[in-house]
């Protein structure tokens, strides 16, 4: 490799003569230096991007500690060891199942729109499109989905059954769904080169649907199959609170999850060294990452405060457990659209997410559904709201930055896309303008039309005054009302 250093003594011999050979040598010398600089910059870009992704993976993995603390604090003391063991198994069993099958089913391109078919056991990996850091990051996401499920079925699940359940979820269920929405070949992927679903694909940037709804719905079915815990409802069917044994662990787990969410949402950009303007400047993907962290923070904090005051009005006291769940519900909701919405929209997202969680908890109580951590309501319900929220509030400029290559990609319904859609659908066509909409759309004129020489049909349009004209008896007969 050529040296990056260059001095006047290096160029002086090449410039002392104007011969073509010296000119060629000078060009070779300069091009060699430029190529070396380019290679060094490329290496630095890859190193920075991989370091950023690895750091994000570490943050997401730290969420497992948050799940463990949250689960431990939300169950009764007699079940603490069991729930802690399930959280350890999510990471351990999930690592092997995702390594052997999961990653290949999720991102094994080229493949079909339903399921991947390459990279089993990381064979022929890394590739030009992905490195080991990408695998680690996606594994952290997979075990997060499993961690959601463990909360729904806490205190009443046999150890071996949960081990099979967790391995199947991280090795097959979650990878197939993530392939649909995040792989370049997925049938609903927004990064698919062609045949985008509804011209856009499903924008689920960091996983309100892929992670939170998958984990929440899996937990929902698990809890329904196992039924409520003994004593959760009395003989009259009334709800009986089986409170967790440590609010301190719940708060600690919530803060750890909050911290990890900064790897979950901003880290989903995967790279940081990307400019949005070829001319350089202060604005680039690093700015979008910062904005994503801001929207994530605002949604969670708004949901926490909304839950605090709403529960105060509904039940009469301030409850730290409810506030923690509301905070996490706001995070789960904003995860889908965190990169493509304005900060003020994130406040709306968090406000609605709090009421979605409260509403689903009321419904769960009515139907005698028992979820010790409210995981299905929180992750499933708020995750579903997050997907809808993105379709309503995604900003056109941000959508085109995060998902480039589609000039007419739809964006948020409340952010102006509805005006373009209506204008494109309902604007009168050329025939309507020339003949008139009475004839083309309604089957005829409202009254007798005497101007046979409509000037609007001519290339040069002009306005004239229509004067009554004398008609012969024969022409009057032709234009009598009975003949019109």
Q: Is 442 strand, coil or helix?
A: helix
Cα torsion 245, 76, 258, 338: sign? negative
Paired tokens of 111: 């493949």
Q: 83-110 burial, b if ≥16 CB within 10 A, otherwise e?
A: beebbebbbebbbebbbebbbbbbbbbe
Q: Could you tell me where the DSSP H helices lie in 112-173?
A: 132-152, 159-168
Asked if residues 348 and 332 have their Cβ atoms less than 8 Å apart, the reply is no
Predicted pLDDT at 478: 46
Asked if residues 295 and 338 have their Cβ atoms less than 8 Å apart, the reply is yes
Q: 424-436 burial, b if ≥16 CB within 10 A, otherwise e?
A: eeeeeeeeeeeeb
Asked if residues 388 and 340 have their Cβ atoms less than 8 Å apart, the reply is no
- Comparing CA positions, the residue from 287, 270, 346, 252 lying closest to residue 62 is 252
CA distance 42 to 463: 65
Predicted pLDDT at 259: 96
Asked if residues 268 and 339 have their Cβ atoms less than 8 Å apart, the reply is yes
Predicted pLDDT at 16: 58
Burial class (CB in 10 A: 0-12, 13-18, 19+), 445: exposed
Token look-up 């380019």 returns: 38
Q: Is 298 strand, coil or helix?
A: helix
Predicted pLDDT at 449: 54
CA distance 34 to 46: 18
pLDDT in tens, the chain (484 residues): 455 555 555 555 655 555 666 667 766 767 777 777 877 888 888 899 999 999 999 999 999 999 999 999 999 999 999 899 999 999 999 999 999 999 999 998 888 889 998 889 998 888 877 889 999 999 999 999 999 998 899 888 888 888 998 999 999 999 999 999 999 899 999 988 777 788 788 999 999 999 999 999 999 999 999 999 888 888 888 888 888 889 999 999 999 999 999 999 999 999 998 888 766 678 889 999 999 999 999 999 999 999 999 999 998 889 999 999 999 999 999 999 999 999 999 999 999 999 999 999 999 989 999 999 999 999 999 999 999 999 999 999 999 899 987 777 888 887 775 555 555 555 555 566 666 666 666 766 666 555 555 555 555 545 555 555 555 444 444 444 444 3
pTM of the predicted structure, to 2 decimals: 0.81
Residues 318/320/321/323 CA torsion (nearest 10 deg) = 80
Cα torsion 417, 182, 273, 405: sign? negative
CA distance 327 to 255: 10
Predicted pLDDT at 482: 41
**CB pairs under 8 A, 24+ apart, for 157-161?**
157/86, 157/222, 157/226, 159/82, 159/85, 159/86
DSSP strands (E only) in 155-262: none
CA distance 112 to 183: 10
In the chain, the domains with their CATH numbers are 45-275+290-420 (1.10.3430.10)
């Amino acid at each position: 490799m050529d040296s990056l250093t260059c001095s006047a003594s290096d160029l002086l011999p090449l410039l002392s003569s104007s011969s073509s050979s010296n000119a060629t040598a000078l060009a070779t010398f300069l091009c060699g230096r430029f190529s070396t600089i380019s290679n060094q910059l490329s290496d630095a870009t890859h190193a920075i991007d991989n370091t950023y992704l690895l750091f994000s993976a570490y943050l997401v993995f730290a969420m497992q500690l948050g799940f463990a603390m949250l689960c431990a604090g939300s169950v009764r003391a007699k079940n603490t060891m069991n729930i802690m063991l399930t959280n350890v198994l999510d990471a351990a069993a999930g690592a092997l199942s995702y390594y052997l099958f999961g990653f290949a089913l999720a991102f094994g391109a080229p493949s079909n729109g339903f399921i991947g078919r390459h990279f089993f056991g990381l064979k022929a990996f890394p590739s030009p499109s992905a490195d080991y850091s990408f695998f680690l990051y996606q594994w952290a996401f997979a075990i997060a989905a499993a961690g959601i499920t463990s909360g729904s079925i806490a205190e009443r699940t046999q150890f071996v059954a949960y081990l099979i359940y967790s391995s199947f979820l991280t090795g097959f269920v979650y990878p197939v769904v993530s392939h649909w929405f995040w792989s370049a070949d997925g049938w609903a992927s927004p990064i698919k080169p062609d045949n985008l679903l509804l011209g856009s694909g499903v924008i689920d940037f960091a996983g309100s649907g892929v992670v939170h709804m998958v984990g929440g719905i899996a937990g929902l079915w698990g809890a329904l199959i196992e039924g409520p815990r003994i004593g959760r409802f009395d003989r009259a069917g009334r709800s009986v609170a089986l409170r967790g044994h440590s609010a301190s662990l719940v708060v600690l787990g919530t803060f750890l999850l909050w911290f990890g969410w900064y790897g979950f949402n901003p880290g989903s950009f995967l790279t940081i060294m990307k400019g949005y303007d070829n001319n350089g400047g202060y604005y680039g993907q690093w700015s979008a990452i910062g904005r994503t962290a801001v929207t994530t923070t605002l949604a969670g904090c708004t949901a926490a405060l909304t839950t605090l005051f709403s529960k105060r009005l509904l039940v009469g006291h301030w409850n730290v457990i409810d506030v923690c769940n509301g905070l996490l519900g706001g995070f789960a909701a904003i995860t889908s659209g965190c990169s493509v919405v304005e900060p003020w929209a994130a406040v709306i997202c968090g406000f609605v997410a709090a009421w979605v969680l409260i509403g689903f908890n009321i419904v769960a109580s009515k139907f005698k559904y028992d979820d010790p951590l409210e995981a299905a309501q929180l992750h499933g319900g708020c995750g579903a709201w997050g997907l809808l929220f993105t379709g309503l509030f995604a900003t056109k400029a941000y959508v085109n930055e995060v998902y480039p290559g589609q000039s007419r990609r739809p964006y948020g319904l409340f952010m102006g896309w509805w005006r373009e859609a209506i204008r494109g659908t309902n604007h009168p066509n050329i025939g309507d303008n020339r003949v008139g909409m009475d004839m083309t759309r309604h089957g005829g004129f409202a009254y007798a039309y005497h101007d046979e020489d409509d000037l609007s049909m001519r290339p040069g349009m002009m306005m004239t005054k229509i004067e009554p004209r004398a008609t012969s008896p024969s022409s009057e007969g032709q234009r009598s009302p009975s003949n019109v």
